Chains A and B, each alone.
Chain A
């Protein structure tokens, strides 16, 4: 059964392994370059000039690394479309399931080995890829905004936990779509369309995994505004300002109150001077592991549901 799994899926496995070899090598190179150049640099707000010079020198690598990581987000899609969708669809379309299910291997074993091997490899590849993306981008964290918590582009591809679960979920989604449609090309096309939509949907519900924390801050503790959502203190969801009377203002109105000719938006100095306070809705940084677990848990629950559907329909000969 292992031989059969390899023989039937060797080219998709080899192709992805080849792509990953190149990708991983590049990530390691980019990470080491950044680490070497920015060694000893504190956070950019307090960094000395030489750190800025160093970061300029690696800016090219950094940009290319981000581009590669952006395309790397498509890897689970490749898994779903090229590993998952054809698995059952091709057997059903070519009628070879009649050959496969009348040897001496039970449907249970056939399905368990095929999906088990592919899911195991997907989880492993996903975990290593995610860990490398997190590590490589992390080398630039002092000078660039590369923190994954709050970065909707890279959250789901950073770290080992979520990518492992996501690649498995993508695989099973492809398998299930292939089983339902029974046609290889149609299954690949539908998977290609549905998976990005699902990932987008996940991004939409992500801020709501836990109720956000509300924080009123004065000038010393305020979040830099406008700033990226992935700040050092956590994932900033919304910022507004309260004037001394308690009325809520957006940043333009607060900036108008500040009337600072060199800054359109409120600064710490302005808040101290005018008595404005910043009201922020955010997820504190220590929630990052929890968000990873929650998202991975959702993906695994979806995977289990899809696996059970496939199992039920194939093993109980409903078709």
Chain B
């Protein structure tokens, strides 16, 4: 299985402040990867590093097995959607499509024009005068028509109303279903991503806390509740993410895995957003996958 992105102890600093530190990550191909974390955690920095807009201050970053280089072949494989959808404000939708066609050899012009007319986007209104949802859709069509292998989106839904959000995600998911490329998108609203993503990366204070398949995370993480006196009976090496004690009740969020528990404990499933919330509240906890198989 090829890794789309492989980061090894990557760090990036601005002056004396480290926006990312000691990040090691291996993201599989063909997934829709959610990047979550509080504001200022380093999501935009990480996405900019992956997209080649920034250079790591330390560590190595590989994209499809190769270092990120400024050459047309590498650039053609990635598409990037910036936060606040950067579009040339005086360019009309037609201008933007021409822009895409002229600057990208793999551009699928027919698909782009078809999609633009299906979405009902006006052809000769300057991008600066389109609504937020329309701008996001145009920017997404620009990114998708390039036929990338990896699409990176920085908070694509942040400034959109619910209808626009639904439309944009619909457009994205339809394209993923058609072509099966890898998507890496960030959000600080987890519920937006829960239904569409199948891999989760959580960043907190510049460090990677979680990186794993979502169904696997939900299978292994369980909420365990029981009497507080029974806390000692929990297996010693049980990886505990969070623990709350209220009155005589104790509730523990842990990576249960194959551990056996005393029957006094009740085991429940956790929802994805609760899981992420618990991790983000405790920056020291982490759930990173074990070593992956070495590529031959």
Contacts and interface: CB of A to CB of B under 8 A. Distances in A.
- Do the two chains bind? yes
Contacts of B71: 106
Nearest to A101: B53
A95 interface: yes
Contact of A104 (B54, B87, B105): B105
Contact of A7 (B51, B52, B91): B91
B176 interface: no
Contacts of B142: 99
B89 interface: yes
B95 interface: yes
Interface in A96-119: 96-99, 101-108
Contact of B146 (A104, A318, A319): A104
A31 B226 CA distance: 101
A317 interface: yes
Contact of A99 (B52, B82, B105): B82
A102 B87 contact: no
B88 interface: yes
B63 to A, nearest CB: 13
Given A96-B87, A104-B106, A317 B78 contact: no
A102 B153 CA distance: 12
A318 B13 CA distance: 11
B84 interface: yes
A189 interface: no
A278 to B, nearest CB: 63
A98 B85 CA distance: 9
A4 B96 CA distance: 10
A4 B102 contact: yes
Given A7-B95, A98-B53, A98-B80, A103 B103 contact: yes
B99 to A, nearest CB: 6
B78 A108 contact: no
A28 to B, nearest CB: 35
A104 B107 CA distance: 10
Interface in A283-319: 315-319
B70 A315 contact: yes
A234 B48 CA distance: 60
A275 B268 CA distance: 117
A104 B53 contact: no
Nearest to B73: A104
A134 B98 CA distance: 43
A94 interface: yes
B78 A103 contact: no
Contacts of B102: 1, 3-4
Interface residues of B, number: 33
A94 B146 contact: no
Residue of A101, A103, A318 with highest tally of chain B CB at under 10 A: A103
Interface string B27-69: 0000000000000000000001001111100000000000000
A102 B70 contact: no
Nearest to B82: A98
B82 A103 contact: no
Contacts of B86: 94-99
B87 A99 contact: yes
B296 interface: no
A103 B53 contact: no
A8 interface: yes
B76 interface: yes
B73 to A, nearest CB: 8
B253 interface: no
Nearest to B104: A104
B7 to A, nearest CB: 17
B95 A103 contact: no
Contacts of A103: 75, 99-100, 103-104, 146
A94 B82 CA distance: 11
A314 to B, nearest CB: 10
A93 to B, nearest CB: 11
B120 interface: no
B26 to A, nearest CB: 23
A102 B78 contact: yes
Contacts of A317: 52-55, 70
16 contacts: A1-B102, A4-B99, A7-B99, A94-B89, A95-B82, A96-B88, A97-B86, A98-B48, A98-B86, A102-B51, A103-B75, A103-B103, A104-B72, A104-B75, A316-B55, A317-B53
Interface of A: 1, 3-4, 7-8, 94-99, 101-108, 315-319
Interface of B: 48, 51-55, 70-72, 75-76, 78-80, 82, 84, 86-89, 91, 95, 98-100, 102-106, 139, 142, 146
Given A3-B102, A99-B86, A101-B53, 5 more contacts: A96-B86, A99-B87, A99-B142, A104-B76, A317-B54
Q: Which 7 A-B pairs have the closest CB atoms?
A: A103-B103, A95-B86, A102-B80, A98-B82, A104-B76, A104-B104, A317-B55
